[in-house]
Amino acid sequence: MQWIATHIYTTTEGIEPLCGRLYAVGLNGVQIQDAADFNDFIENQTQYWDYIDESLEPLKSCETCVTVYLTDDADGRELLSHIRGTVAELRALDTEGVFGRLAIELSGMNEEDWANNWKQYYKPFTLGEKLLIKPEWETLDETQTQGKVVLSMNPGHLFGTGTHHSTRLCMTALEKHVRPGDRVLDLGCGSGILSILSLLLGAAEATAVDIDPAAPATAMENLALNGLEASRFRVLVGNVIDDEALRETVGGNYDVVVANIVADVIIAMSATAYAQTRAGGTFITSGIIGPRGDEVKQALLAAGFDITAVTEENDWLCITAKKS
């Protein structure tokens, strides 16, 4: 199996919050390189050696870096998109630049080459009763698409191909809950996959929000791929948790609100999601690893939601809740 090293540059202060977010999206291990730790070790542990190998000298002044290793396949590509999303959220929250540049670099393969190579793994697949997700570069005949709701996607570098367990869980839940004429809100939209699926399922309109400035362009491209009218879809950039003006622009009274993010963000936005959901409306949320499920449930209940369903796939949870 091929592995791609993904380096995220930060500061000593940024290591803990960054690693916490990486663990939250499902990464089990990280490699940390930090000049502060190395210099502290040198200053306080000199009794254990007489000299330092010259090859270690660069560590005295290296930029702090957290490295994770991703498989060179569809799962790895999807996980990279998840990493990009959570790092973008951390960058937006770090208004004083304490956590450094939070830049992401790949080694072992040029990112464009990896994206193209990854296409061999991203193939059409079905979900639920009638969903068929296909990459834009694949051609299907009528016998393969008959009776299906076909969603064409080119995710770019953003989260949302439909292959990740959390996305699959959300899509299956949307198939059950979106009704013709519904208004849908997608919090943390990434590639726009959940918003666009909602429109294909009959929603009258969808509003999507993401903290990544690249989201609007990618989401609108995917909207066009599916032959949908731009007038039914709007994509906004920002953080609905702490941006009151953005919350006012987003508005409320949505029939279905969906958020495929991470547990910490879902917990923080529970009250906001409750305010944006109409009475009797549905909140679908995923991106939750199994051990965090109880915390998310408690936050949803505290916000006023009633939990109606919990589904699981490979230790990822999707929680569906109703607003009374």
Q: Give the CATH number of the domain where residue 231 resides.
A: 3.40.50.150
The pLDDT of residue 115 is 55
Q: Which pairs count as long-range contacts for 236-242, CB under 8 Å and 24+ apart, including other chains? A: 236/207, 236/208, 236/209, 236/210, 237/209, 237/210, 237/211, 237/212, 237/213, 238/209, 238/211, 239/89, 239/92, 239/93, 239/211, 240/187, 240/209, 240/269, 240/272, 241/265, 241/268, 241/269, 241/272
Query: In this prediction, what percent of the chain has a pLDDT beyond 70?
Result: 84
Q: Are residues 99 and 175 in the same domain?
A: no
Q: Please name the amino acid found at residue 70.
A: L
pTM: 0.68
Asked, for residue 152, whether it belongs to a domain, the answer is no
Q: Please name the amino acid found at residue 33.
A: Q
Asked if residues 29 and 88 have their Cβ atoms less than 8 Å apart, the reply is: no
Q: Are residues 185 and 110 in the same domain?
A: no
The pLDDT of residue 142 is 80
The residue out of 65, 98, 118 marking a domain boundary is 118
Q: Residue 240 has which token pair? A: 């609905």
Report which of residues 40 and 243 the model is more confident about: 243
Residue with tokens 């990279």: 80
**Using one digit for the tens of pLDDT, what is the confidence trace for 166-199?**
888 999 999 999 999 999 999 999 889 999 999 9
Q: Please name the amino acid found at residue 9.
A: Y
The residue out of 86, 118, 150 marking a domain boundary is 118
Residue with tokens 């944006």: 276
Residues near 301 by beta carbon (within 8 Å), at least 6 away in sequence: 307
CA separation for the pair 13, 197 (Å, rounded)? 40
Handedness of CA 233, 238, 240, 243 (dihedral sign): negative
The pLDDT of residue 121 is 60
Q: How many domains does the chain have?
A: 2
Query: In this prediction, what percent of the chain has a pLDDT beyond 90?
Result: 41
CA separation for the pair 23, 152 (Å, rounded)? 30
The pLDDT of residue 111 is 54
The residue out of 60, 89, 118 marking a domain boundary is 118
**Using one digit for the tens of pLDDT, what is the confidence trace for 37-91?**
544 544 444 433 433 344 444 445 578 889 888 887 777 877 888 888 889 888 8
Q: Are residues 87 and 181 in the same domain?
A: no
The pLDDT of residue 311 is 96
Rg for the chain, CA atoms, rounded: 21
Asked, for residue 283, whether it belongs to a domain, the answer is yes
pLDDT, mean over the chain? 84
Q: CA of 302: how far to CAs of 162, 257, 323, in Å?
A: 30, 17, 12
Quick check: 277 pLDDT over 50?
yes
Report which of residues 158 and 224 the model is more confident about: 224
Asked, for residue 18, whether it belongs to a domain, the answer is yes
Least confidently predicted of 10-14, 142-146, 234-238: 142-146
Q: Are residues 185 and 277 in the same domain?
A: yes
